[in-house]
Structure 1
């Protein structure tokens, strides 16, 4: 069965600094919110925007390289999607945002403002990344998480749940921040790697009500709950090490 094309490349093009030509697209049929005859943004080839689904590139947005936009995704404003990036599902990328490298933005996620998502990073679920935020490396932001301001999330870090990372905060390494976390400056979070019987990572951070939360493996709760759990399952040496680490965290975060 022959795929029905929903758009075509027009003769209008812009030249990328690399020498690539990016062509403005024009809708051939009605689909989603797009009316036949509407002009869209710019793509390098039809490989950049799927003919199936309601995905569309609007305005001055550009998609090129081996990047793909599909599903019901929208790329608009002055946004750029390139490299091997994928934007799909019901995701939106707009403003002056850029998604590139092998990054993935999907689900109902939104990346906007001057945000950058790149490397092997993934943003999905109902997550929002905006402002001047950067998410990169193998980091993941998902759930209802928000990363904004000048925040950085990278390495193997995970930010999810209803967590907010903003201001000048950096979350990286193997840190995990989730639940009702509110990390707005570097001193709001601390993590210790290669700890415990499994040589894992203990992350301690402020919640939105000002209390301290801890994550370690599958555990998430207050630091008091963590210490109580540790007393039940760990030997005296491991338990004491965790107590000392939490004292350091309290000193750093609470002052």
Structure 2
């Protein structure tokens, strides 16, 4: 038995209003969807698999050659179009958009006003939210998080427990991973623009040094985020001449040598 049918309700969408999408309704109960429950909008049957628990909810739209399958959910006002695929246990919700040849899968979540497009892939337990953009050939995976107005593009990869937030830009062949935290106005285009050292300090945590848009070094350490000189001042203020301070200063000197500001 088919799991959904078209209700007969349709509307025009797309930049030029040239795409017709049709509302769906469940014809059987599956997953958390009840028989008779109204779903979202799809252009054609190929957009939503009849198998497993995949579903399009609310005002969400799936069109073009896009596919939603597995146990994936597309909810809210989200849009999936082009040749994009959302599958596994992935969720796309809020006002998020997934398009182009992008793939969102595993347990990944794309939400808020985030966009994933091009040949980008978001998978694992990764989350892309806020106004963030992941595009080009970029990959975001593991338990990584990209949020705020951050952009990850080119051939960049963000993975592990890494966080890319604020107005940060990660691109080129850069890899941000492990416990890295790239925030603010970071510009990380390759390995020489980033250094993560840890666990160090009184809390045995990780400290991230990265190049910013001013072609200077910004430091992210616990609750502190600021320019290199301010970090050194904070270390002196907090730790004086203790062993912790010595380790932080050595880490800072290594960062000065490693990070390319050109």
TM-score (normalizing by structure 1)? 0.86
- What does residue 130 of structure 1 align with? 135
- Please list every run of 5 or more consecutive structure 1 residues that lacks an aligned counterpart in the other structure: 1-6, 10-25
Deviations 1:141-174 (A, max 9, x none): 0000000000000000000000000000000000
CA distance in 2: counterparts of 1:246 and 1:56, whole angstroms: 49
- What does residue 220 of structure 1 align with? 225
1:50 Cα deviation from its structure 2 partner: 3.2
1:168 aligns with 2:168: no
- What does residue 88 of structure 2 align with? 83
1:42 Cα deviation from its structure 2 partner: 1.7
1:39 aligns with 2:43: yes
Aligned residue-pair number: 232
- Please list every run of 5 or more consecutive structure 2 residues that lacks an aligned counterpart in the other structure: 14-19, 24-41
1:239 Cα deviation from its structure 2 partner: 1.3
- What does residue 146 of structure 1 align with? 151
CA distance in 2: counterparts of 1:184 and 1:227, whole angstroms: 25
- What does residue 191 of structure 2 align with? 186
Distance change in 2, residues 1:247/1:55 (3 Å): same
1:31 Cα deviation from its structure 2 partner: 5.6
- What does residue 122 of structure 2 align with? 117
1:95 Cα deviation from its structure 2 partner: 0.3
1:241 Cα deviation from its structure 2 partner: 1.2
Distance change in 2, residues 1:107/1:32 (3 Å): farther
- What does residue 67 of structure 1 align with? 72
- Point out the more displaced range, 133-142 or 226-235: 226-235
Alignment RMSD: 2.0
The answer to whether the 8 A contact 1:93-1:111 is kept is yes
The answer to whether the 8 A contact 1:49-1:55 is kept is no
CA distance in 1: counterparts of 2:92 and 2:135, whole angstroms: 16
Deviations 1:68-110 (A, max 9, x none): 1111100000001000000010000000000000000000000
TM-score (normalizing by structure 2)? 0.84
1:218 Cα deviation from its structure 2 partner: 1.1
1:8 Cα deviation from its structure 2 partner: 5.0
The answer to whether the 8 A contact 1:8-1:27 is kept is no
CA distance in 2: counterparts of 1:254 and 1:112, whole angstroms: 29
1:30 Cα deviation from its structure 2 partner: 3.8
The answer to whether the 8 A contact 2:21-2:61 is kept is no
